[in-house]
Amino acid sequence: MQDFLDQDIKFLPGVGPKRAELLNKELGIYTFRDLLYYFPYKYVDRTRFYTIREITPDFPMVQIRGTFVNFSMAGKGSSRRLIGLFTDNTGVLEVVWFRGLKWITQSIKPGKEYVLFGKPTLFAGKLNLVHPEIEDAAVRENQVNTALQAFYSTTEKLKENFLPSRAILKLQNSLIKMASGKIPETLPSWLTEKYRLMPLYDALVQIHFPENADQLARARYRLKFEELFYIQLNILLQKNLRNKRKNGFVFASVGEHFNTFYHRHLPFELTGAQKRVLKEIRKDLGSGFQMNRLLQGDVGSGKTLVALMSMLLAIDNGYQACLMAPTEILANQHYKTLCRFLGDMPINIELLTGSTKPADRKRIHQNLRNGTLHILVGTHALIEESVQFSNLGLVIIDEQHRFGVAQRARLWEKNVSPPHVLVMTATPIPRTLAMTLYGDLDISVIDEFPPGRLPVKTIHLRDSARLRLFGFLKKEIERGRQIFVVYPLISESEKMDYKDLEDGYESFVRAFPPPQYSVACIHGQMKSEEKEETMQYFARGQIHILIATTVIEVGMDVPNASVMVIESAERFGLSQLHQLRGRVGRGSEQSYCILVTRDDLPEDALKRIEIMTRTNNGFEIAEEDL
């Protein structure tokens, strides 16, 4: 027998096939369950009824009970409107409609009691309500709860087809009544008793039709608790299954390649944090179980070096390693960094991306299969079926959140036996949140920076100080430094973003005219080859100022870039600002991050900017950003 909640939404009274199709496409609502779990985004207090006598145009939303006396038409053309005189025995006000006139005249009856809800306004000296919500007073009395009215996100298409928030609320009312006695409890009784949780059916009633603020808070707590409880339960199950089922390759020895690199090629002495993390990784690799570890570390903390030393352990034990990055830019950056670290060591390392030429691709595939290729760096091209390893022992994934679960799984299914997995992220995640998001992974944190690196100075400037900004940037260019300028992605429309970027680019070209200065920009409408070429020019020092959107958030490593200017900084999240700041400060010179905002900054936005100027600690910033 089909579960009540799994029934098709078209069978709910008031929906039918046509409305069901709209709900499917616009909101992803297919079943009774989907609708019940489509929660409101806000609530409006409907506990108080006002009298017409006490209402003024200054009032926000008001609710009144009364009857219509009569209806009349007024105006012509676009100003044609229906006016209803509404009274509650304390006064009279005009109710005005510009559309839906036929429905109003056919449905609303003079003398019958109704409840109106809307914003009072004054027109030609008369108090009125324009297009208020209108309910039959008797029907309203029959609703589940009416104290706090829920409002639901909807779309223009749904509104055009008479499915605004109010209509969704009406459907919820029908469903809640039908569902009584048909929604089983999903948590064990000992758990609901221990944490004093509201029964599931009651929580669903109160989330859509709260009696009061306390009941709404209890309902939210119950539903959040259940969601997190099952997430944690699933994570523990996955971790348990992994420890039971997945035997891993044993990297028993620290061999010649690791030792040679450690004694002759280390670019700087390892920090205490790097040593601690390497010890944790070595313990995993020698345990006999598959490693699944998350490596967290701020930009510039030395994660790539730890990743390379882990790959050398794999090579010393007869295995291959690969590193997968989300973009070609980042994959290129990793490849160059690894080659620079390895120097003249006899390690065969290759780069495989969507841009790799067919002849090079063929050679890489062949060397992978015969085992002569030790390390492969690449993008999602690594998960193609044609990519076959001889003996893949270690998979390193950078910025895991940018890959889908299926993509990651395909990479470590390249072997009959699963390889060890190390996931790296420069996105600081508070430990409590990391335990929730990555509970199936063990967590290592690099919380120190290599010696000699100066912290980036963060400065807040307002738009009115732009001349001062330009003067500072010219001095930095005279010192041989380069500059990033970042504009926010202001919408989902690439054209709108490009316009914003284009205006900024033109203003910088006027302030830094050629041939004395070289200003370039990269944006989403450019081909990947053009973007790559521009970035290479910048990396070689041929461009003074590079203007871009957040495409440079991950992947650009230009030690000579000493200034990061972030335009409209108030539009960015704190963690995103911190990521962008990490693009500078990679050389030995003092670097700067300049946050440019509008002059009239709201207090909450100013506090967020002040956090950035106060600290460089990514984890502290992430806690504030939660």
DSSP 58-78: T-SSEEEEEEEEEEEEE--GG
CA distance 289 to 280: 14
Structure tokens belonging to residue 263: 């004694």
What pLDDT was estimated at residue 238? Answer: 67
What pLDDT was estimated at residue 492? Answer: 41
What pLDDT was estimated at residue 98? Answer: 84
Taking each continuous run of H as one helix and of E as one strand, the counts in the chain are 22, 22
Of 64-68, 397-401, 441-445, 505-509, the range with the lowest mean pLDDT is 397-401
Residue among 301, 255, 254 at smallest CA distance from 281: 254
pLDDT in tens, 289-345: 888 888 988 877 889 999 999 999 999 999 999 999 887 878 888 999 999 999 999
Structure tokens belonging to residue 597: 């905002």
For residues 387-399, average pLDDT: 90
For residues 171-197, average pLDDT: 93
Residue among 599, 544, 545 at smallest CA distance from 568: 599
**Torsion 488-492-496-498 (CA) sign:** positive
240 with 292: CB under 8 angstroms?
A: no
CA distance 226 to 220: 10
The one-character DSSP state at 347 is -
CA distance 32 to 172: 9
3-state SS track over 533-584: HHHHHHHCCCCCEEEECHHHCCCCCCCCEEEEEECCHHHCCHHHHHHHHCCC
Instruction: Give the pLDDT band (50/70/90) at residue 494.
Output: very low
What pLDDT was estimated at residue 559? Answer: 81
Structure tokens belonging to residue 480: 């041989």
Q: Which residues of 350-382 are buried (b: 16+ CB within 10 A; e: fewer)?
A: bbbbeebeeeebeebbebbeeeebbbbbbbbbb
Of the chain, the percentage scoring pLDDT greater than 90 comes to 45
pLDDT in tens, 31-63: 999 999 999 988 888 878 899 999 888 887 889
Given a cut of 80, whether residue 497 has pLDDT beyond it is: no
Long-range contacts from 191-200, C-beta under 8 angstroms, 24+ separation? 191/229, 195/225, 197/221, 197/222, 197/225, 198/222, 200/226
CA distance 131 to 140: 18
What pLDDT was estimated at residue 409? Answer: 62
Structure-model confidence comparison of residues 551 and 380, the more confident one: 380
Architecture of the domain made up of 457-625: 3-Layer(aba) Sandwich (3.40)
What pLDDT was estimated at residue 529? Answer: 78
For residues 176-202, average pLDDT: 93
pLDDT in tens, 430-473: 666 666 566 667 889 898 887 777 889 999 999 889 999 999 99
What pLDDT was estimated at residue 400? Answer: 57
CA distance 227 to 91: 50
Whether a cis peptide bond, with omega within 30° of 0, leads into 40 is no
Q: What is the overall mean pLDDT for the chain? A: 86
pLDDT in tens, 128-167: 898 888 888 887 776 666 678 888 988 878 888 888 888 9
Which residue, chain included where needed, has tokens 């300049």?
A: 594
Residue among 154, 174, 151, 150 at smallest CA distance from 162: 154
Of 217-231, 483-497, 556-570, the range with the lowest mean pLDDT is 483-497
Cα 378 from chain centroid?
24
Spell out the CATH class of 4-44+154-179.
mainly alpha
What pLDDT was estimated at residue 625? Answer: 62
CA distance 50 to 187: 43
Instruction: Give the pLDDT band (50/70/90) at residue 403.
Output: low
Query: Position 122: which residue type?
Result: L
For residues 477-496, average pLDDT: 75
Cα 262 from chain centroid?
39
Instruction: Give the pLDDT band (50/70/90) at residue 495.
Output: very low
Which residue, chain included where needed, has tokens 């779309």?
A: 155
Given a cut of 90, whether residue 624 has pLDDT beyond it is: no
What pLDDT was estimated at residue 1? Answer: 40
What pLDDT was estimated at residue 503? Answer: 82
For residues 27-34, average pLDDT: 92
Structure-model confidence comparison of residues 318 and 620, the more confident one: 318
Which residue, chain included where needed, has tokens 């390895």?
A: 342
Q: Which residues of 168-195 are buried (b: 16+ CB within 10 A; e: fewer)?
A: bbebbbebbeebeeebeeebeeeebeee
Using DSSP's 3-state secondary structure scheme, residue 289 falls into strand
Query: Position 442: which residue type?
Result: D
pLDDT in tens, 554-594: 456 788 899 999 998 988 888 888 888 888 887 778 999 99
Pick the CATH number of 256-446 from 3.40.50.261, 3.20.20.70, 3.40.50.880, 3.40.50.300: 3.40.50.300
Given a cut of 80, whether residue 84 has pLDDT beyond it is: yes
Pick the CATH number of 48-146 from 2.60.120.1440, 2.40.50.140, 3.40.50.720, 3.40.50.10800: 2.40.50.140
Using DSSP's 3-state secondary structure scheme, residue 497 falls into helix
Beta pairing class for 482-486 and 561-566: parallel
Structure tokens belonging to residue 396: 């390193």
The one-character DSSP state at 31 is B
3-state SS track over 576-620: HHHHHHCCCCCCCCCCEEEEEECCCCCHHHHHHHHHHHHCCCHHH
Of 183-192, 437-446, 513-522, the range with the lowest mean pLDDT is 437-446
Instruction: Give the pLDDT band (50/70/90) at residue 504.
Output: confident
The one-character DSSP state at 12 is S
Torsion-angle region of 35 (φ positive above 0: left; ψ -120 to 50: alpha; else: beta): alpha
Count of beta carbons in the 10 Å neighbourhood of residue 240: 11
Angle at 479 between CA 474 and CA 482, to 5 degrees: 65
